[in-house]
Amino acid sequence: MPEPIPAALWPRVSAAFDEALALGAAEREAWLAAQPDELAAPLRALLQAHDSEAALPDLPALEATAALASPGQHIGPYRLIERIGEGGMAEVWGAEQVDGPMAGRRVALKLPRPGQRLSERLGEERALLIGLEHPHIARLYDAGAEAAQPWLALEWVAGRPITDALAGQPLRSRLIAFLQVLDAVRHAHARLVLHADLKPGNILVGDDGRVKLLDFGIARLLHTAGPRAFTPGLAAPEQQRGETLTVAADVYGLGGVLAALVPPPERSRALAAVIARAQAHEPADRYADVDALASDIHRLLDHRPVAALPQARGYRLACVVRRQRWPLLGATALLVGTAAALWQADSARREARRAEAANAYLLDLFKTLDRRAPDAAQPEAALRRLLAQRMARIEATLPTDPDTADELLRITATLHDYLGEASRSRTLSERRYALLKQRLGLRHERTQYAGMGLVWPLLAEQDLPASAALLAELDKALPARGLLRAEWWLARHDLRMRQGAAAAEREALLRQALARYAADAPDDSGHAATWLALSELQAATGHRAEALAAVNQALAHVAHARPYIASDHARQLLHRASLVDAPQDEARALQLLRGSTGLRAAFLKQPLATLIARRCASDVAAAQALATEAGLPGCPAR
């Protein structure tokens, strides 16, 4: 089996391997003899492994030599337009669907080369891959064979390889785009699908900034597990050895993509350690899964210590200083700077204690959802009961550990908000804001966060005077920049919308919020929410093209938003489906909602009513079933 290939040789070996696969046996030997020594040895090993692989049983009809493809040729329900790429295993054509309900759809048609054998698992694997529905995965639409020519129809993606598209972009922008890639791979792994060929050329970025992964799992369709299903030089060592693959192989590939995105001169010590762990030679030494890698990328973005580096005291302190770099800058003496850094380190320890208590609180809360309890069949009711019981614990903690009690109070108020209990959330948020204002003052950041947290339940209860008064109070204390100011602009818009402001004023407020999010908090979930609000406003005023562009921006941000909120993602998908015919968006949105809030949350009434009305025009039975599930009126009598 081939040995791991030095990184410096990867591009040359990869290109040469594709070239060799296109040659006949006699031509290949002469071609190999002409190669430089450093390429010939790894190429011979790879080609030997390729040729000796034992495949699954073949479909006899696919053993014949397929005719060369040409523009205008019909293959299955598709008409070939132009060849857009080729490699050792397949050609890729731009094609148009000419038959069936999706006639006119543009696709990328992958045509495996003669001799590339498709196994009897084609139908099974096709069903598995077609089920991958994610905004950052180019979907496999269908697969089949005609006149001895197998074909795979994939979503058409216009864009450039991620390394080209992001060249020259700030490091933070590249890391945020990489999080989109991680989210897509995580989605597939959860459905037991490996990519097995992760590389920059399989990751495109469109003009709207959205990342799309290509060829997800296609290697599984073309080949069984083993040395053939990879790009030489980019694959994990165990993949090159032909061993059974796990998620560790994709983690290795993701490390290679990250290394390509960030050249060595731009890598901090922490980022270099992240790449090294992802690309460790032994699978056991890599990140355990994509979530673990994503966690370290988020830590990099937040200037927190990464798990890939030993947690030395000096490194932790340096991260604290970076997170607090603006307060520590200026003409301060060394002693003052050192004292500030030590104070920040102590603050970080207290933050860690609060976070640990919050995690334990949530874990204990959900572990206590007893299946034998009378309300076991109604998890929302059970959660409300348990939250009420936990208030006694918060009350007991307040005098002795107000910081931890404050964190638990925040979590409890947030959970009530997501349960649709604005009144209870308001009561808890008002208490928290008052306690912090009394103890820390209005100028303290934690007090300001609590104040912004109170705005939303006030608006949900339509208490516009109280909302206006609170926003005016916060306006005087908040800095002009930062996440809280972005949230303030968004909340100001929501208030003015409820007060009947004109569209022009509302758009100006939303664009103020977007400017702050883009500059100061691009990966916050509020960024995507603001794009959705702008899209809804533009759609309501008849600017359909602008609305579509804005909701696409929302969807480009939501996958890597912190925190990721499934119901927000679903609302964005439903809104886009209201602008264009996108049944896949509707299906994905309903899937997200059923796995999170359910379909009866108050904030879903409008988008689901719109969806039901659309379905009434085409499929009354489906519309009625959805209406029943959502607790909304069905189709009008005809």
Q: For strand 149-155 and strand 106-112, is the pairing parallel, antiparallel, or unpaired?
A: antiparallel
Q: Are 366 and 411 in contact (CB under 8 A)?
A: no
Q: Are 22 and 89 in contact (CB under 8 A)?
A: no
Q: Are 557 and 569 in contact (CB under 8 A)?
A: no
Tokens describing residue 558: 């939501």
Residue with tokens 């994509």: 290
3-class state of residue 205 by DSSP = strand
* CA max distance for the chain: 85
- Residue 282, phi then psi, degrees to nearest 5: -95, 135
Q: Are 612 and 627 in contact (CB under 8 A)?
A: yes
Residue with tokens 């050249």: 263
Output the DSSP codes for 62-100: GSSPPPPP-TT-EETTEEEEEEEEE-SSEEEEEEEE-SS
Q: Are 205 and 159 in contact (CB under 8 A)?
A: yes
The residues near 26 (Cβ < 8 Å, ≥ 6 apart) are none
Task: Give the residue among 202, 152, 164, 208 at the shortest CA–CA distance from 181.
Answer: 202
CA distance 451 to 458: 11
Cis peptide before 114 (omega within 30 of 0): no
Q: Is 110 annotated as a binding residue?
A: yes
How far CA 431 is from CA of 21, 399, 420, 454, in Å, comes to 70, 15, 19, 10
Q: What strand order describes the sheet that includes 160-161?
A: 160-161, 203-205, 211-213
CA distance 474 to 496: 16
Output the DSSP codes for 371-398: TTSTTTT-HHHHHHHHHHHHHHHHHHHT
Binding positions for ATP are: 110
Binding positions are: 110
